[in-house]
Chains A and B, each alone.
Chain A
């Protein structure tokens, strides 16, 4: 007789392969369209090579600065206790769900032409700073990634066993050389790689703060090929370059297997005996103060400047907000539907395609596919929804898979003896066990989609704009008061969606 007694691992996983193929197809289809349309790399001009060079250069500088600044901040957070420490560490997770365009507006309020810093330097008779250009792009990238780098490195610090610190203290041995430097040598390259890859595909920052021959990324060049030249072949060729960049960096990430930024319990405090001297404490206080000021001031400015703007929001902004919420909810639903059957090792690899292929590359491909069939503007919202879902998929899989594996390990055999299979297995066992991570994952997806300013910029006209695009248009039209109001609205909606879903996952669980 056949050996049909089911090995445990295969029990509830039927169909995962099919889903993986579907997701891969959703990515590969547009990529094929890009490759087919692209004129080959020979079609690249000097400006395109400049864009490639700038993309690599700014990503390296942004990642390097983020990690270098994160090291002293993380060390200070790891060894000093002070009121508000937990809140500050929680806040370090916020930029992940903070809409890029909102943060840019906040940075403009601090570092922009009429920003706080220039008012200060103006009063002191110092030269003005100009945020537009490569330094603005790097500043914004550090703003976004310093918190991530700090979290990753802080995790490394907290992973050093408490016994080691006790041993070092009892021997009066130098903690830095003995414990901290080896940890940093292990953690820092991975953190650098993650941030480097994030900055490679950054579009909204380059769109708002960059531009011109010295601050155009490949993604921005794709957008410009669409919008200014409507040169689809050139856009496709550039998308091919971005694709190669993405695949190379995704492979590098796989090899480096960097640390995971979602780790819980970062507000734990270890007993430490170093860093007690007055200079050490003063230095730590300065670093923490610098980080808090750097991160909090732009956020505070959005709230302060946004409140009056809420009153003068044009009606299109409210319509755009409604569209954005719909897209965010749709993307959340689609991501979860795709993610649940995909939460396996193979599925996670398929999901990684979403990391390797940037939103603009996917958007270019989808544009090429859609264009002969319908007006691209009409496809703007569905395409945005789809791309948002694919972009969020790797994060969602990373969150869900360990929990799903645990639920299967704990209750798979019990479910099997009770004959709970197929849909009933999801309904009765797995979904209830996954409530918390599902809520968190849904919140992340909704917030990411709500704040996304990427592929929508290629497709939309005035009637199909999302809130981030509408906000960008207000900025471009120098309607700053309305833009700041829209930014506050967008911030509230993004954080609100995240909070609602995350809370829903925790209730009665």
Chain B
């Protein structure tokens, strides 16, 4: 379980606070752009230090750890794969910075098969379609096998149908592997589609997550403001 304990982040005119627990299998953070969704994600991943407060995982503080030592993996908006390495070499980096051994190679092939890219390990990312690149990145995250997966506006370069397909795949494989997911998105329909709980980031604060159905059925004032009266 992820806990954000009295987190505050200040930089010039930007202020953000968060004091809540995130425990669902798949949680979505939504809110207007500039509200601080990605800032929160960056603090959890270890790219940004909060001005004050702590990030805890299962009761252990992780705020001081470098990104790679945290129990999190992350899918970025783009640049999830090194373009000069083959897909197999990219995936190997989830486990080692040396030459992968036979066991690790077998796990890479298995992960590729899981995401529907069996036999494509020898290709460079440029030889894959956008959807295939997303799948390869997902395979990499699965191989990292961290208990929390962060998604930063994932697959935003893909068309709506392909994006939905990818989100379904992420949700299914993460659930199978027992990985919790925290997704940042500006698209409410994405959250509605795959999230168990949704939390709103607006007016400088992270609001506590609520079950998805209730969240959209009885929208709060802030959510109404964000979604508009359409």
Contacts and interface: CB of A to CB of B under 8 A. Distances in A.
* A and B pair up: yes
B46 A6 contact: yes
Given A429-B82, A432-B84, A418 B93 contact: yes
Contact of B68 (A3, A417, A435): A417
15 contacts: A3-B64, A4-B49, A4-B65, A7-B48, A410-B79, A413-B45, A416-B46, A416-B67, A417-B67, A418-B97, A418-B144, A419-B97, A420-B68, A420-B93, A421-B68
Given A1-B63, A1-B64, A6-B66, A411 B97 contact: no
Q: Counting chain A CB atoms within 10 Å of each CB, which of B50, B63, B93 scores highest?
A: B93
A428 B45 contact: no
Interface in B53-81: 54, 61, 63-69, 72-74, 76, 79-80
Nearest to B94: A418
Contacts of B76: 413-414
A413 to B, nearest CB: 6
B187 interface: no
A4 B64 contact: yes
Interface of B: 43, 45-50, 54, 61, 63-69, 72-74, 76, 79-80, 82, 84-85, 93-94, 97, 144
Given A414-B76, A414-B80, A428 B47 contact: no
Given A5-B43, A5-B47, A428 B66 contact: no
A421 B54 CA distance: 25
Contacts of B69: 419
Contacts of A429: 82
Interface string A1-18: 111111110000000000
A2 B65 CA distance: 10
Contacts of B49: 3-5, 7
B82 A428 contact: yes
A251 to B, nearest CB: 32
B80 A420 contact: no
A424 interface: yes
A37 interface: no
Contact of A2 (B64, B80, B84): B64
Contacts of B43: 5
A272 interface: no
Interface in A241-273: none
B195 to A, nearest CB: 22
A392 B66 CA distance: 36
Contacts of A410: 79
A509 B76 CA distance: 24
Given A1-B61, A1-B64, A6-B66, A417 B45 contact: yes
A103 to B, nearest CB: 38
Given A5-B49, A5-B65, A411-B79, 7 more contacts: A2-B64, A4-B64, A5-B64, A6-B46, A413-B67, A420-B97, A424-B97
Interface of A: 1-8, 410-411, 413-414, 416-421, 424, 428-429, 432-433, 435, 509
A2 B49 CA distance: 10
A417 B74 contact: yes
Q: Shortest 7 CB-CB distances between A and B: which pairs? A: A419-B68, A3-B49, A5-B49, A432-B84, A416-B67, A424-B97, A4-B64
Contacts of B63: 1, 3, 5
Nearest to A422: B97
A27 to B, nearest CB: 35
Nearest to A413: B47
A1 B79 contact: no
B93 A8 contact: no
Contacts of A421: 68
A6 B48 CA distance: 7
Contacts of B65: 4-5
A411 B47 contact: no
A219 B68 CA distance: 54
Contact of B84 (A1, A414, A416, A433): A433
Contacts of A419: 66-69, 97
Nearest to B150: A417
Contact of A414 (B46, B54, B79): B79
B47 A8 contact: yes
Contacts of A411: 79, 82
A7 B11 CA distance: 14
